[in-house]
């Protein structure tokens, strides 16, 4: 099981990866939306803002998200680290229920490029 610091680093790496992206991926990452990532096995939620192609203003809090973010991810700590590290395919993890993604329909259409 990954710890909270490893999860924070994974989110920071994801933010760096998105900032370096180009084309359709860059367009999808340029949304201005609130974001939460619930880490089930740590009972921890990271919340921040997806803005200018980066994840910004990330804060961690125990328990479920305090509010409903525009884009909501739920997964285990190991799955987050594996996704960002390229060892877990998002589409298969989502299809198998290991990763949960909730967002509005229009956001899902734009985010599919990232997946």
Model pLDDT, residue 112: 67
| Other residues' Cβ atoms within 10 Å of the Cβ of residue 21 | 16
pLDDT of residue 114: 60
Of residues 25 and 82, more confidently modeled: 82
* Average of per-residue pLDDT across 58-82: 96
Domain that holds residue 36: 4-111
Q: At residue 115, does pLDDT exceed 60? A: no
Q: Which residue has the tokens 């884009």?
A: 71
Q: How many other CB atoms sit within 10 Å of the CB of residue 83?
A: 20
Please give the pLDDT value at position 19. 82
Helices and strands (H and E) in the chain: how many: 5, 5
SS3 label, residue 15? helix
Check residue 63 and give left, alpha or beta (phi > 0: left; psi -120 to 50: alpha): left
- The CATH number assigned to the domain holding 48 equals 3.30.1050.10
For residue 52 the two structure tokens come to 């200018």
Domain count, the chain: 1
User: Cβ(37)–Cβ(46) under 8 Å?
Assistant: yes
């Amino acid at each position: 099981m990954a710890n909270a610091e490893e999860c924070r680093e994974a989110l920071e790496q994801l933010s760096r990866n998105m900032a370096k992206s180009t084309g359709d991926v860059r367009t999808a990452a340029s949304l201005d939306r609130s974001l939460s990532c619930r880490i089930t096995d740590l009972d921890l939620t990271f919340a921040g803002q997806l803005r200018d192609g980066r994840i910004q203003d990330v804060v961690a809090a125990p328990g479920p998200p305090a509010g409903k973010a525009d884009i909501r991810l739920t997964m285990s700590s190991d799955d987050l680290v594996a996704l960002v590290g390229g060892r877990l395919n998002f589409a298969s993890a989502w299809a198998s229920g290991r990763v949960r993604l909730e967002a509005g329909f229009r956001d899902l259409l734009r985010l599919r490029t990232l997946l």
